[in-house]
Structure 1
C-alpha cells in the first residue's frame, strides 16, 4: 500500500489530506484524497442525427461540452466520426488541461464483446461498424464503445442519482425508446454484447410496423417522430415535447403503453430505481404521477414498496456523460491507465 500510494502521489492522482489520529502502535495514518483534475477523459454520444461531446475530470464533472446535428441520409459514418473528432480537438484546445486518458463513445445499439464495434443500430442503419478504430485513427486517443443507454445508466450509478442502488434501469426517449440496466455496478450485457430492448417489447400483434421489422412494438407508438406528429409539430423536437403532447388525445394512450411496458420490464428485471431521460426526463409531473399510481398494482408485491422513479441527473447532455463514465471505468478506475 505504501508503494502504491507513493506512486499515486507522485503522479498527482491523489494528494495528502489531514493526518488521521493514531489508533494503536505505529505512526499515525496519512489520509489521502483524489485529485479530480489529475487527468481528463472525453465522452461522446452518437445519436441518430445528434452528437454530444463532453470533456470531464475524474469525477465526471464537465470541463467543456459541445453538440451538433447531422443528417442520417446525407452523412456517412466516416463523415460523422471526422466531424466529431474535429469538434473534440477544439474542446481539448479550449480546456488546455491535463492529459486526456481516452474516449468513451456511447453508440445507438449493442456492441461486440471487446467493445470495439457497433453490431446493429436500427435507427441509423449502421451494422458491424468498427467505430473504435475509426475514432482512434481520427483522434490519436484510445477509445472504448458501449451501448448508449447502458452508458447513461452507468453514469447515474457512478456519479448520479443511482449511487448505492443495487439495480438501476434507465429509460431514454429521443429518436427511439431505449433502456439500459446496471446491476451491482456492472452494465447488464447478456451474451457479452446484448442490450435491454424495452422499445421492442411487442404490445400489439396488429400494431404499426416497427423499424426492427416487427409490428406493434412499444417504440412504434412511442418515438419522437410519432409524438411530434401527434402534437402537430415539425422540425426539431422541442425540449417540452411531452408537455406539448399532454394537451392532445394521444397523451392518455401513450401513458398507458409506457406503463404496460415498464410493468413488464420491472417484473422481468426487478430494478430498485427507474431513471427517465431524454424527452421522458423532461416530461410534466403528471406523467410521473400516472406511473407512480398505476405501476405498483402491476408489479410483484415485493417490488411495490421499494420501486422509485426519478428524472435523470445529467439533463440533455446525459449521453455524453454516459460516454465519459465508460471512459473513466475503462481507462482510469480499472487500472488500464496508459
Structure 2
C-alpha cells in the first residue's frame, strides 16, 4: 500500500509540475487515478505545502473548480556547470526561476581538482548568501561535468580532456557541504534541460548535442536518457570520422571533436585564441565565410547523420555555445550536409533545431537532477526532511 501511495503521489506531482495549474478533475483524467485517490493524495500534498491552490476555473454548470500547482517556494535547488573555461553555480526555485548566480574562470589546461571543488563550494555559499536562502531549504545540488560519471556515493569522474582519472568528486564535495549531491555528465544535464523546458519538449526520441570546446550528446529514448552499461553513452565527440585523422585531446585520432570542437576549428583555420577570446574569435571566423567553416559543416553533417542512422530520433537539438553559433548562421547548410549523409527515410522524419536555453542549459539541467528526485518523492529540504543527506 505504501508503494502504491508513493507511486500515486509521484504521478500527481509530475503531472502538476509539467502541466501547470490543474484541477482535481483534470488530474484524474491525466493520471488515470480515481477521484478518491486524487483527493486523498492532493490533500496530503496541500497539508505538507508541497502544492498550493492557484485560482479557480469555471466548470460546466457547477461550482468553479480549484486549480492546484506545485509550490515554487517549497524548496530550492542549485545547479553547477563545470566547463572547460568556467564553473557556473546557479540557484533556482521549483519553477526554475534563477535567484542567484556565481561564476569562476578556469584557465586552459588548469583543471586542478581541488580548485574546481573549491569553486563549487564557494559558489554554493555565494548564491545562498545572495538570495538569502537558509541552507535547510535547499533540496540538493546538481553538478554537470565533462567525461564519464560512475554512479555511486563517490561519483567517480573519468575526464581525459581534464586529466581526471577516477576522481572521487562526490566524496570531495561531501567533505565540504552537507547538502545532497547529484552528479552527471554535462551533455546529459543539458539534454534533460532541453527535454523538460526547451526545444526537446514533447519529443519521446531525441538527441541533444553539445558543441563547445568539447563535444558530447544526450540520447533520449522513449522519454528517458540512454546511459549504456557504464553511463558512458553519448560520447559522440569521440566517435571516429577519419581513420588516422587529426589528433584529439583524448589521445586518439580522427575523433569528431577534432573537427567540430571550437578549439579544433580555430586551429585548422590557423588561428590561436586564449580561452577568454575563443567565442569571439570563432564568431568572427563564422561571419567571414572562411572555407574551414564549410569543412566543419561537412563533418558536423556526417556526425549528425550517424546519429540519425543509428538511433532514428524524431528530433535533434543543437546546443552548446559553438553549436548555437554555427546553427544561427549556417543551419540550412547543416541540414543539407545531414541529408547528404543520412538514409532518406529516417532523415525525413527527424527535425533539426537549435536549443532554446542558451549558455545556462548545463547548470539548469544539473538542477533538474534534484527536481527529478523530488518529483519521485526522494528529495526534500532538510528542514522538512532531516533524513535527507
Flag whether TM exceeds 0.5 (same fold).
yes
Displacement of 1:91 after TM fit?
A: 0.6
Stretches of structure 2 lacking an aligned partner (at least 5 in a row): 1-36, 381-389
Partner-residue secondary structure (3-state), 1:190: coil
- For residue 148 of structure 1, what is the aligned residue in structure 2? 186
Residue 65 (structure 1) aligned to one of 80, 101, 106: 101
Counterpart position of 1:308: 351
Find 1:13's aligned residue among 50, 59, 63: 50
- Number of residues of Structure 1 aligned to a counterpart in Structure 2: 336
Counterpart position of 1:185: 223
CA distance in structure 2 between the aligned counterparts of 1:243 and 1:76, rounded to whole angstroms? 29
Q: Report the secondary structure of 2:149's partner residue.
A: coil
Per-residue displacement from partner, 1:5-61 (whole Å, max 9, x unpaired)?
A: 233212322112445677899x98643112222211001111223111111121322
Q: Hey, what does 2:210 align to over in structure 1?
A: 172
- Superposition pairs for residues 294-333 of structure 1, below 5 Å? 294-330=337-373, 332-333=374-375
Q: For residue 225 of structure 1, report the CA deviation from its aligned partner.
A: 2.0
**8 A Cα contact 1:180 1:196, kept in partner:** yes
Other-structure match for 2:271: 232
Which of the pair is proportionally richer in helix? 2
How far, CA to CA, are the matches of 2:347 and 2:358 in structure 1? 27
**What residue number does 1:251 align with?**
293
Q: Deviations over 1:51-110 (max 9, x none)?
A: 111111213221222221123645521221122211221111111247110011111012
Greater mean alpha carbon deviation, residues 248-257 or residues 284-293: 284-293
Going from structure 1 to structure 2, the CA distance change for 1:284 and 1:106 (only over 3 Å counts) comes to closer
CA distance in 2, matches of 1:192, 1:75: 24
Alpha-carbon distance between aligned partners in 2 of 1:103 and 1:191, rounded to the nearest angstrom: 25
Instruction: Note the alpha carbon deviations across 1:240-263, whole angstroms, 9 max, x for none.
Output: 554322322311111111111111
Q: Shift of residue 274 of structure 1? A: 1.4
- 1:35 equivalenced with 2:71 (yes/no): yes
TM-score (norm 2): 0.79
Give the corresponding residue for 1:101.
Answer: 139
Contact in 1 for aligned 2:314/2:349 (Cα 8 Å): yes
Alignment match, 1:88:
124
Contact conserved, 1:116 with 1:145, CA < 8 A, in 2?
no
Which residue does 1:210 correspond to in 2?
248
Deviation digits for residues 254-279 of structure 1 (CA, Å, limit 9, x no counterpart): 11111111111111011221111221
Normalised by the length of structure 1, the TM-score is 0.90
Q: Distance in 1 between matches of 2:120 and 2:182?
A: 15
- SS for the counterpart of 1:271 is coil
